[in-house]
A and B are shown apart, each in its own frame.
Chain A
Amino acid sequence: MMNRSAFCLILILLLLLSGCSFLPTNIVNEIDMAQGVGYDLAEKKNIKGTIVFPIFKKDKTSTTEVRTAIGKSSKEIRSILNNETRYTLVSGQVRVALYGKKMAKKGINDFVDTLHRDPAIGSLVQMAIVDGDSNELFKMKKYKNENVSIHIQELLEQNMKMGLLPQTNLQSFLFQFFQIGQDPYLPLIKKEKDNIRITGMAIFKDDQYVTSISMEDLFIFKALVDINRTGLRQFILEKHDNVVLDTLGSKVKYKVKIVQGRPEFTINLKMKTRLHEFAPSEKQRQSFDKKKYQKQVEQELEKSAINIINQFKKHQVDPLGLGAKYKEHYRGFNEKQWNMYYPNVKVVVNADIEILQTGTVD
C-alpha cells in the first residue's frame, strides 16, 4: 500500500516538474499568430519578407498588422520581425503563402521548403503567385480591418470549390514538384485598383515560374487536371451566337499509345453541362438546337485545349502530367528521352459535351 502511494507521489511530482519548466507556454493572447506570409525579390539578392498577423483588442474590432523585413532566408526574416513585435511570432496558423512574380521566376523552392519542414504548418496552406508585389497586396488599406490573409484564403478556396480554379495547396504543389514527368501550377492573383483578383494560373518548370494561362483557358485547364463541377464559360460560336454553359460534372481520361517508340496521347473529355444563357445572332426568338451547338462547343473546346497544350510544349512545361502518364504505361521510361520527345509529342483531344438542361425555357 505504501508503495503504491509513493509511486503516485513521484508521478505527480514529475508531471509538475515537467509542466513548470520544460514546456514553453503559449497563451493565446500572448502570441502573435502569423496568418499570411509573402516573399518578394529585393535588391542585392535579398528577399523582402512580409508577415501578416491579427491583433485582437478588448471591446474593439481586431486589426491586422503587416510587417516587412529584408533578409536572406525566411527564418532570418522572421527573427528580424520578432524584434519588432510585442509577442513571439508563431507559424502554426499560416493560411496563405504568396510569392512575388519576380521571385517566382528565380525559383521558390527554398521558401516552400520551410513550410514543408515545419511540423506546425498544415499541408492545406493556400499558395499563390502575385502578379506584382505580395507586400503591396497585403498592405492594401481596404483590408486593414478585415483580415487580409483570410480574405485571400477564402477567395481562393471559394473559387476552387465553385469556380474555375483547379484544386491547389501546399500538398498539391509538393506532389507535382516531386513527381517525375509533371510540373506544378499555382493560382495567379493581382491587385487591381483596390481589389484582389484572380487573373489566371501560373505554370512552373520545377520551382520556377515560366508562363501563365488566362482566365478564359482555365475552364478547359480545370477540366483537364481536376473535376470541373460548377465552372461557367461563355462560347462565342459561328455567326456570333453567344452560348454560356455551366458544367454539372466532367470526367477526363488520358490514353497513351506507343507508336514507333514514341508516345501519343489521346485525351477523352466528357462533360455534362446546362445552358445558362443563349443569345443567337439573329434577333429572333428561337428554340435552342442542342445538337448543333453541342458540336460547335466541342470544336471550340478542343481548339482551346490544343492551344494551351501547344503553349505548354513551347515552354517545355508539363502541368498536365503527360510524362507521369507515359511513365505509368511504359516500363522503359527515360526522363531525358521524354524531355526530348515532349515538344513534338502528338496530343489529340476528344471533347464530348452534353447539354443536359436548357433551364426553364426550351
Chain B
Amino acid sequence: MQANIRHQVSPYLVFFIIYNSQVGVGILSFQRTIAAKAGYDAWIGVLVAGCLVQAFIWVMYKLLGKTNGDIIDVHTTIFGNGLGKFLSFFIMIYYWLASISVLIGFIEIIQVWMFPTMPSWILSTIILLSVYYCVSGGFRVIVGMSFLSFIFPQILLIVLFIFPLKIAHFSNLLPIMSHSFMDLADSIKSSMYSIAGTEALLMYYPFIRDPKASKKFAHLGVLFTTILYTISAIVSFTFYSENQLKTTLWPELSLTKTVTLSFLERFEYLYISMYLIIISVLIALFLWCSSRGLKRIFNRKQKYTLLLLCLLSIILCQFNGSFKDMLNKYIIQMNLWIFYGYIPILLLVLTFLKRGKQNDE
C-alpha cells in the first residue's frame, strides 16, 4: 500500500531522515552511560551497536518489502485486522514515549544550562507548537527540516571536535580491550538506545518513492551516525579522565566550556539553541509516526490524533525526576525487545507464511 506519489520523497533523502532519527539528546550524554562498566573500551561497543543497527535496517527492509506497506500492513496480513491493530498500537505507544523521553531530556538541559527558573510546561508548549506546525505540513515538510537539521549543526559539531583536540590525551584509550566481554556487552546495550531511532522507518517506508534504491542510503546513514557517535565518544574519552567522565552528566555539552571566542564567552548558549532544530525535527518525526499510526488504527483524522498526543505530552513533561528515569528505563527495554527481538521473529513468521501460501497455490 504505497502512499500517493505527491506525498513521497526521493530515495536519497532517507540518508537524512535516518541521521536525524538517530541523533537526539542521547549524543550529549551517552559517553557517560556507556563508560559506566566498560570504561574507556566502550567506543568498541558503539561500533558493534552500529553493526547491529545495520542488520536491523536489513531486517526492516526485508519485512516491509514483502507487504510493500508499513508495520500496520505487516501486522494485519499476519494476524488479521483485530489482533494486528492491537499489536501495532503498542508500537505507536513506543514512538510516542520515545518522543517524550527526548523532549524531557532536552527540557532538562535547557533548565540546567540556560534558564533555571523556566517552568517545564512553557518549554514543552513552545517546542510542541513548532513540532505541531511541522507535522501538520506533512511528511515532506519533516524530511525538508531534517535535511536542514543535518546541515547547520554539523558545523557546530565539527567545532566541538576540533577545540578539545588541542588538549587531548590519546593515551587514555590504552590499554585497548582490558575489560571483560560482559562489560563490553553492557556498553553495547547502553549505546543501542542512544543510536536507536531507525525504527521510524517502519512507518515512513510507504513514503519513499523507490524503496529498493533507498536501501543503500539507509545503510550509509547508519554508517555515518555510527562514525559520528564513535568519534564523539573518543573525543570525550581523550578529553576527560575516566573518573571525571563518570561525574559529568553531559560530557559533550561540557566540552563547549572550553570554547571561548572574544565576542562570545558562553558558546553553549549558541550550541543548545541550535540543538533545538535537531530536537524538534526528531520529535516531529516520531510524533508523525505515532499519530499516523493511530489515525490508521482508529480511523480518525491525523490532526486530532496529533493534537491529543501533543496535549498528553505536555502533561507528561510536568513530571520530572523519578518519572524521567523510569520512562527511560522502560523505553530502553521496550526498544530492545520490540525491535531486536520481536521484529526479526515477525520477519521469520512472514517468510514462512508466504512460503506456505505459495505451496497451497
Q: Which A residues are within 8 Å of any B CB, using their own CB?
A: 7, 10-11, 14-15, 17-18, 22-24, 92-93, 116, 119-124, 167, 171-172, 174-180, 182, 324-325, 328-331
CA distance A34 to B118 in the complex (A): 24
A122–B247 CB distance below 8 A: no
CA distance A171 to B258 in the complex (A): 8
B74-98 residues at the A interface, CB under 8 angstroms: none
CA distance A358 to B117 in the complex (A): 63
B118–A22 CB distance below 8 A: yes
Judge if B243 is at the interface, Cβ distance under 8 Å: yes
Which one, A122, A180, A328, contacts B171 given CB within 8 A?
Answer: A328
B113–A119 CB distance below 8 A: yes
A18-B122, A24-B117, A329-B174 known; A179 and B241 CB under 8 Å?
yes
When C-beta atoms are compared, the residue in chain A nearest to B258 turns out to be: A123
CB-defined A-B contacts under 8 Å, sample of 12? A22-B117, A119-B268, A122-B260, A122-B266, A123-B258, A124-B260, A174-B241, A175-B244, A178-B243, A178-B244, A179-B241, A330-B175
Determine, out of B125-133, B204-212, B280-288, the stretch whose residues face the partner at the interface.
Answer: B125-133
Judge if B62 is at the interface, Cβ distance under 8 Å: no
B266–A172 CB distance below 8 A: no
Which one, A14, A93, A120, A328, contacts B122 given CB within 8 A?
Answer: A14
B117–A23 CB distance below 8 A: yes
A18-B118, A124-B258, A328-B171 known; A11 and B242 CB under 8 Å?
no
B199-243 residues at the A interface, CB under 8 angstroms: 239-243
The smallest C-beta distance from A262 to any residue of chain B, in angstroms, reads 18
Residues of B within 8 A of A324 (CB): 171
Q: 5 nearest interchain CB pairs?
A: A178-B244, A179-B241, A178-B243, A328-B174, A123-B257
B242–A119 CB distance below 8 A: no
B126–A14 CB distance below 8 A: yes
B90-128 residues at the A interface, CB under 8 angstroms: 112-113, 115, 117-119, 122, 125-126
The smallest C-beta distance from A88 to any residue of chain B, in angstroms, reads 13
A178–B129 CB distance below 8 A: no
Which one, B113, B241, B243, B257, contacts A122 given CB within 8 A?
Answer: B257
Residues of A within 8 A of B113 (CB): 119
Interface of A is mostly: helix
CA distance A325 to B171 in the complex (A): 8
B241–A175 CB distance below 8 A: yes
Residues of A within 8 A of B167 (CB): 167, 171-172
Which one, A122, A123, A178, contacts B242 given CB within 8 A?
Answer: A178
B243–A23 CB distance below 8 A: no
The smallest C-beta distance from A13 to any residue of chain B, in angstroms, reads 11
CA distance A257 to B126 in the complex (A): 60
The smallest C-beta distance from A108 to any residue of chain B, in angstroms, reads 16
CA distance A192 to B257 in the complex (A): 34
CA distance A92 to B269 in the complex (A): 12
A7-B133, A171-B167, A328-B175 known; A23 and B244 CB under 8 Å?
no
CA distance A259 to B240 in the complex (A): 31
Judge if B265 is at the interface, Cβ distance under 8 Å: yes
Residues of B within 8 A of A120 (CB): 266
B241–A331 CB distance below 8 A: no
Residues of B within 8 A of A92 (CB): 265-266
A123–B171 CB distance below 8 A: no
A119-B112, A178-B247, A331-B175 known; A18 and B126 CB under 8 Å?
yes
CA distance A177 to B133 in the complex (A): 49
Judge if B178 is at the interface, Cβ distance under 8 Å: yes
Residues of B within 8 A of A122 (CB): 257-258, 260, 265-266
A124–B241 CB distance below 8 A: no
Residues of A within 8 A of B254 (CB): 123
CA distance A22 to B167 in the complex (A): 39
CA distance A120 to B239 in the complex (A): 20
The smallest C-beta distance from B272 to any residue of chain A, in angstroms, reads 10
CA distance A119 to B258 in the complex (A): 12
A122-B265, A123-B254, A180-B242 known; A23 and B175 CB under 8 Å?
no
Residues of A within 8 A of B242 (CB): 178-180
When C-beta atoms are compared, the residue in chain A nearest to B268 turns out to be: A119
In the complex, besides A121-B257, A175-B169, 11 extra interface pairs with C-beta distance below 8 angstroms are A7-B133, A14-B126, A116-B247, A122-B258, A124-B257, A124-B258, A174-B244, A175-B241, A178-B243, A179-B241, A330-B175
CA distance A11 to B268 in the complex (A): 25
The smallest C-beta distance from B306 to any residue of chain A, in angstroms, reads 13
The smallest C-beta distance from B184 to any residue of chain A, in angstroms, reads 15
When C-beta atoms are compared, the residue in chain B nearest to A174 turns out to be: B244
A175–B117 CB distance below 8 A: no
A14-B126, A175-B240, A178-B247 known; A22 and B175 CB under 8 Å?
no
CA distance A15 to B122 in the complex (A): 9
CA distance A180 to B178 in the complex (A): 15
Residues of B within 8 A of A176 (CB): 241
Residues of A within 8 A of B174 (CB): 328-329
